[in-house]
Structure 1
Amino acid sequence: MESCKLPRDLVVDILSRLRVKSLMRFKCVCKFFYDLIKSDQHFMDKHYEISKAKTDCVLLEVGRDFREYYLLYKESECNEIGCIYLDIPGMQWVKCCKGMLCLISTKNDKLDKGDYLIYDILMWNPSIRKVKALPSVTVPYKAPCDGLYALSEFGFGISNNMTWKVVMLLEICSSDGRTVHQMTMVYSQDYSDSWSLRQLNLVTSFQNIRDMSNDFYLKGRYYWGTVGFNQQHIIHYLIWFDMNNEVCGMIELPKSNIDSVSIMNETIAVLRYSPIVGNTNCIDIWLMIENDNNTYWCKQARIDYGLNIYNNIEWWRPIGIWNVDGELLVFQDRAVDPDWDPDSEHSEPDVPYFISQDLVTQERKMFSISKERKSITIASNPTAGNLFQVYNERNTDTIEKWKYHMFMQRIYSRVYYESLYLP
């Protein structure tokens, strides 16, 4: 840095506009670069804000009983769409906030008398390849009888004072589905980098959250999609938890038949598949508008996807907006020949695919993630006190069987931005 003729502020500005992959290499250039990239909080914040304004990337979650996770991204040089498969063994929940992933697992969601719930939690930044195991969480509830099971939902975010928090919504049920006990807890980081568990006086019924499966972090709040009933009509809601004030609230969503809830232009966007006259496929986009503490919904766009092919049972499933400029990510869902054998070399399935559509130019790019992709593997055993990680940057070309049974599966996305934040 001493021999550099550029002003320091200009060097910092240039570096803040680079991809994380490049910055990881530049740490070796000099001590100034190393300290700036590794530990300067102001630089991390500046880099994240710039990355958020230009990155096209989503965390894609597919499957129901067995979930798979992918990072879909655009190559900035060639505008091609790439994919990183996240090989995360044994993790039942994956949440993201500011480039950080929170991985959560439990081995004992079925409880007998005297049992406690125990959760293992990891924080992982796949961009900088850093992972941290948090102390395991033992829920302060002792099962009073046999045959209980736990329903769990989680949120992950950060408060204004840069405190990371994991929100835990727990509901203990009997074998007949009757709720026995509910509790809301926050597992939070303090200034000494230790973590503590607190129970809040908030009780939110969330059994229907799983029916919608949309959740995300935005501007200090974590949101879950859920459904309710009003005079035999299905109503869609968002339940939110404020990371700063630690209070809950609810927002009613527009219309019915919501396919997904995403983020567009730093606000909440509702995506809805709408077959209309003539069997035409359309996708409607609604944006949430907040004004003087009032919330209402404005229809932003309607996109025509042509004729619906009923005999092939084909339709489009919108799963998210994946950049700030407004690019729609759509999954093309299609039934497959029931005689298709995934283990046969002579059987060719009709592979479903994705479409990325620019909402300004209307340009569409079609792609599938069943081609070669890089795999990042992370393995851990925090309960035993051991933590290790293995990154296998290998090309794989395996058959993703979830694609051929999508009518029984789920697929949705969360906006993801690269960051230098340390777990």
Structure 2
Amino acid sequence: MCSFQSCTMKQMAVDRKTPFLPEEIIRSILKRLPVKSLIRFHCVCKHWKDVIKTPSFIADHLHHSTHQSPSLLFQENDRHPLQLRLLDCEMQVREVRNTPLIDSSSWVKIIGSSNGLLCVAINEADVYPASILLWNPATGEIRQVPRTRTIDRFDWDCTVGFGFSPIINDYKIVRTYAESGYVISGVEVYSLSTGSWKEIELGNLENVNLYLQTVSANGAIFWNGIKLGVEEGGEDDTDLIVSFDIAMEVFTLIPMPNSFSKLGVYDDKLAVLSHSRIGDFPNYLCSFIDLWVLEEGIGSSTKRWSWTKKCTCGPLPSALNLGVIWRNEIACVAFGKPRLVSETRDEIENDEPKIGLYLFSITTNEFKMIAIPGCGSGRDVFNYVESLVPLGNNHIEEP
């Protein structure tokens, strides 16, 4: 018995000197956990804390979350408080808590979402342009973006875009100015890595104006835009898409497949959702959504861009606001009282309003509705993924 106890004690002593699991397995387990758990694990041991804060682990965790746990983020309205709800990959809805402290009189708008970071514009009374902050809801980290320009005149329009470039591993904010709501007259770019703004050349943005809607994909930021005709009675205004290469900091004009479209991202490519309704306003019978994907080729400027229609979803409820493309589905927010093609007039008049999120499968053309508490018209929808991406240079380097 004594010999057995002595052998056991020696084995336990050896075990204490070696890791219980190989490093690769520990990292593989940790990258599958939610951010909230990983933050708690900072207290388990210094080694785990160091692993979790390394850039390579943050990248591995982001890659896994992006492909396994994508979510949808909903902004309740444009007024403070910033009310956000999250639909996770398991189709559960929860409220996003601990939002940034913002003055109650401010107008708040989420500009964009990239790798778990949100770009938020805050429009305060008598202050122009809007202030901007970057926020990681999962970690709670907030970074106030410095204000570089204050304009007393309120006849200036400002358009903001936000995105990430894997080539330079940097997040950038682009802000354009257009006097009196017309063509762009100035552009500023903010870099998260340097923490500063700089002015850049307009390039080919002459006689171009941008709409507020923006998306980001593959190291570029995109806006719906319009190129104004140069002379009266001459060239007509042209709808187009404006692309900003985050690494090179240059603008490109891309022809649009059709007008009045919503930008999106499908299979890591720029996409356009176009919405058509059947029937007479306001009593439309149904609607259809076309999905177009941009294929970038090589050739002359007129033949470089090619749009391919991937699918047509429908017939669908008529009263829908186009949202985003999420998990091979098109997410739309219902407004008013959507009418389904299969419903009779009595069912439409007597049924409760169907307010919420509609998901339309790109592959099967089937759709489903998910109730979102407090969901109403005008709600913005964003692709989102929880991440450990920091907003400063406070992560440690690789050991």
Mark yes or no: TM-score above 0.5: yes
State whether residues 226 and 236 of structure 1, in contact with CA within 8 Å, keep that contact through their aligned partners in structure 2. Answer: yes
Matched, 1:96 2:98: no
Matched, 1:166 2:173: yes
Match of 2:273, SS state, is strand
Match of 1:60, SS state, is strand
**Structure 2 residue identity aligned to 1:255:** N
What residue in structure 2 maps to residue 300 of structure 1? 310
What's the Cα RMSD here? Answer: 3.5
What residue in structure 2 maps to residue 321 of structure 1? 325
Match of 1:128, SS state, is coil
**Structure 1 residue identity aligned to 2:176:** L
Which of 55, 58, 81 is equivalent to 2:72?
A: 58
Any idea what the Cα deviations from partners look like across 1:366-404, whole Å, max 9, x if unmatched?
12222xxxxxxxxxxxxxxxxxxxxxxxxxxxx56xx2x
Identify if the C-alpha distance between structure 1 residues 119 and 304 changes in structure 2 by more than 3 Å, giving closer, same or farther: closer
Residue 422 of structure 1: how far off its partner (Å): 0.9
Correspondence 1:2-41 to 2 at 5 A: 4-37=19-52, 39-41=53-55
Matched, 1:285 2:291: yes
What residue in structure 2 maps to residue 198 of structure 1? 198
**Structure 1 residue identity aligned to 2:218:** K
Any idea what the Cα deviations from partners look like across 1:34-69, whole Å, max 9, x if unmatched?
1122x2001111111111112332333465688965
**Structure 2 residue identity aligned to 1:125:** N
What residue in structure 2 maps to residue 263 of structure 1? 265
State the aligned residue count.
345
Any idea what the Cα deviations from partners look like across 1:330-380, whole Å, max 9, x if unmatched?
2233359xxxxxxxxxxx97352221233335553312222xxxxxxxxxx
Equivalent-residue separation in structure 1 for 2:235 and 2:182 (angstroms): 21
Equivalent-residue separation in structure 1 for 2:182 and 2:93 (angstroms): 46
Equivalent-residue separation in structure 2 for 1:244 and 1:75 (angstroms): 31
**Structure 2 residue identity aligned to 1:319:** G
State whether residues 262 and 414 of structure 1, in contact with CA within 8 Å, keep that contact through their aligned partners in structure 2. Answer: no
State whether residues 206 and 226 of structure 1, in contact with CA within 8 Å, keep that contact through their aligned partners in structure 2. Answer: no
Match of 1:137, SS state, is coil
**Structure 1 residue identity aligned to 2:188:** M
State whether residues 32 and 65 of structure 2, in contact with CA within 8 Å, keep that contact through their aligned partners in structure 1. Answer: yes
Match of 2:21, SS state, is coil
Matched, 1:251 2:257: no
Residue 267 of structure 1: how far off its partner (Å): 0.9
Runs (4+) of structure 1 exceeding 4 A deviation are 61-69, 85-88, 205-208, 228-235, 276-280
Match of 2:63, SS state, is helix
What residue in structure 2 maps to residue 214 of structure 1? 213
**Structure 1 residue identity aligned to 2:323:** I
Identify if the C-alpha distance between structure 1 residues 335 and 355 changes in structure 2 by more than 3 Å, giving closer, same or farther: closer
State whether residues 235 and 256 of structure 1, in contact with CA within 8 Å, keep that contact through their aligned partners in structure 2. Answer: no
Equivalent-residue separation in structure 2 for 1:47 and 1:91 (angstroms): 33
Residue 226 of structure 1: how far off its partner (Å): 2.3
Q: Which is worse superposed, 99-108 or 271-280? A: 271-280
Identify if the C-alpha distance between structure 1 residues 327 and 55 changes in structure 2 by more than 3 Å, giving closer, same or farther: farther
State whether residues 123 and 129 of structure 2, in contact with CA within 8 Å, keep that contact through their aligned partners in structure 1. Answer: yes
Gaps of 5+ in 1: 111-116, 309-313, 337-347, 371-398
Any idea what the Cα deviations from partners look like across 1:310-346, whole Å, max 9, x if unmatched?
xxxx5333311123xx02212233359xxxxxxxxxx
Gaps of 5+ in 2: 1-15, 339-350, 392-399
Correspondence 1:107-146 to 2 at 5 A: 107=124, 117=128, 120-134=131-145, 136-139=146-149
Identify if the C-alpha distance between structure 1 residues 411 and 229 changes in structure 2 by more than 3 Å, giving closer, same or farther: farther
State whether residues 319 and 411 of structure 1, in contact with CA within 8 Å, keep that contact through their aligned partners in structure 2. Answer: no
Equivalent-residue separation in structure 2 for 1:28 and 1:206 (angstroms): 56
TM-score, normalised via structure 2 length: 0.74
> Which structure would you say has the larger Rg?
2
What residue in structure 2 maps to residue 152 of structure 1? 158
Which structure carries more relative contact order (alpha carbon 8 Å, separation 6+)? 1
Any idea what the Cα deviations from partners look like across 1:176-226, whole Å, max 9, x if unmatched?
x677x8211112244xxx52221112163698533xx42112111111122
TM-score, normalised via structure 1 length: 0.70
Matched, 1:237 2:240: yes
